């Protein structure tokens, strides 16, 4: 995979950085190196304010409590917010690993201005979105979308198959996703919003199909609008010779910097596609950064200590930690498996 565009360097204070990235399946366990790398990415070490992720690969209702997203980023991502979208129509036949899914992760600068969030109205995990801005001023809606590919070895579990089982008959999943996105985006445009869409299109983004989609809703390719028409491959898998990942933005938005960077995260076989935008272009001329303040409670107040202890014990009971530890203690010495040892460390 090649790089084009600007180098991913520390951004200037008055800019907002957006990035889209197919993270190629988040591990089930939070203890794996890849999980830790993804959590580090979410912490914003590269200056990204909002991340639009695709192919999360997890069915969160069946993920262990100790491996939920909040546990993975605890202590690393202060005041970030995340919206995950996944297929929640097939609970009985779905395992922890579920192909597809999308997410949006954004930092304090945007969480303080987050007005609305939402997911795919068909509950298939095709996209997640957030709408940010100040009251009675310019807003920008950010969308992360994953368009499935047609698998040649489908066995009923692919993202495409999930969609096919749950959409109206005689509809094709890839086409319907684009049609539904057009409806969603137009609803925000009618409110006067800017649009920034990060998508794994699973199709050459320079083809007529994607160009027609962008033209219908008045969007442009953020990277190519700044750096010309040459666009290298964005993945080492599947259509490895084609660019399939893209940041689209409203025609009225002009990115200051943009690029395709294969080194912006070692978790995936897809590149990170990113763009910087001026704050006044996204949220209006009188935009000002502000922070929400958290007031610390006095640790030496016995009433607060009692309340903390009570909440902690309730959480320990709710998660069944005591019972799980007792069951581990019943296993004879020498017969503990690696999974048992990992479970003990997590519970501890």
Interatomic CA distance for residues 18 and 142, integer angstroms: 9
Query: 338-347 and 321-329 are packed helices; what angle lies between their axes, rounded to 10 degrees?
Result: 140
| pLDDT at 283 (0 to 100) | 94
What does the alpha-carbon distance between residue 342 and residue 331 come to, in Å, rounded to a whole number?
A: 14
Residue 276: its pLDDT value, please? 96
Which tokens sit at 92?
A: 């009985």
Question: What is the structure's pLDDT at 337?
Answer: 79
Quote the pLDDT of residue 3: 67
Cα 278 from Cα 170, distance rounded (Å): 43
Q: Which residue has the tokens 């959590």?
A: 39
What Rg, from alpha-carbon coordinates, does the chain have? Answer: 22
DSSP state of 289: -
- Render each residue's pLDDT in the chain as its tens digit; 348 residues: 556 777 878 888 889 999 999 999 999 999 999 998 898 888 887 889 999 999 999 999 999 999 999 999 887 777 789 999 999 999 999 999 999 999 999 998 888 889 999 999 999 999 999 999 998 899 999 999 999 998 766 567 899 999 999 999 999 999 999 999 999 999 999 999 999 999 999 999 999 999 999 999 999 999 999 988 777 778 876 656 789 999 999 999 999 999 988 765 557 888 889 999 999 999 998 877 766 555 566 667 788 778 888 888 888 888 888 888 888 888 887 777 777 777 777 777
> CA torsion 79→117→85→240, rounded to 10°?
-90
């Amino acid at each position: 995979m090649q790089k084009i565009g600007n180098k991913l360097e520390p951004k200037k204070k008055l800019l907002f950085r957006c990035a889209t990235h197919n993270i190629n399946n988040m591990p089930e366990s939070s203890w794996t190196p890849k999980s830790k790398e993804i959590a580090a990415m979410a912490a914003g070490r590269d200056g990204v304010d909002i991340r639009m992720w695709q192919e999360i690969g997890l069915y969160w209702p069946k993920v262990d409590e100790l491996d939920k997203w909040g546990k993975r980023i605890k202590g690393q991502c202060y005041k970030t917010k995340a919206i995950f979208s996944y297929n929640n129509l097939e609970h009985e036949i779905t395992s922890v690993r579920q192909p597809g899914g999308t997410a949006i992760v954004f930092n304090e600068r945007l969480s303080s201005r987050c007005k609305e969030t939402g997911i795919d109205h068909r509950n298939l995990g095709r996209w997640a979105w957030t709408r940010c801005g100040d009251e009675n001023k310019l807003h920008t809606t950010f969308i992360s979308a994953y368009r499935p590919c047609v698998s040649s070895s489908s066995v009923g579990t692919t993202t495409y198959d999930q969609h096919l089982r749950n959409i109206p008959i005689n509809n094709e999943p890839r086409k319907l996703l684009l049609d539904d996105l057009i409806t969603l985006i137009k609803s925000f445009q009618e409110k006067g919003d800017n649009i920034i869409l990060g998508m794994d299109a699973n199709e050459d983004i320079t083809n007529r199909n994607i160009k027609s989609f962008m033209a219908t809703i008045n969007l442009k390719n953020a990277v190519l609008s700044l750096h010309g028409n040459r666009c290298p491959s964005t993945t080492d898998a599947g259509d490895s010779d084609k660019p399939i990942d893209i940041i689209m933005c409203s025609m009225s938005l002009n990115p200051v910097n943009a690029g395709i960077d294969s080194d912006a995260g070692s978790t995936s076989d897809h590149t990170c596609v990113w763009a910087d935008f001026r704050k006044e272009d996204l949220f209006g001329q009188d935009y000002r950064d502000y922070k929400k303040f958290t007031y610390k409670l006095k640790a030496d107040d016995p009433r607060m200590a009692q309340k903390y202890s009570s909440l902690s014990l309730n959480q320990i009971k709710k998660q069944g930690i005591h019972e799980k530890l007792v069951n581990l203690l019943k296993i004879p010495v020498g017969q503990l498996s690696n999974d048992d040892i990992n479970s003990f460390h997590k519970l501890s």
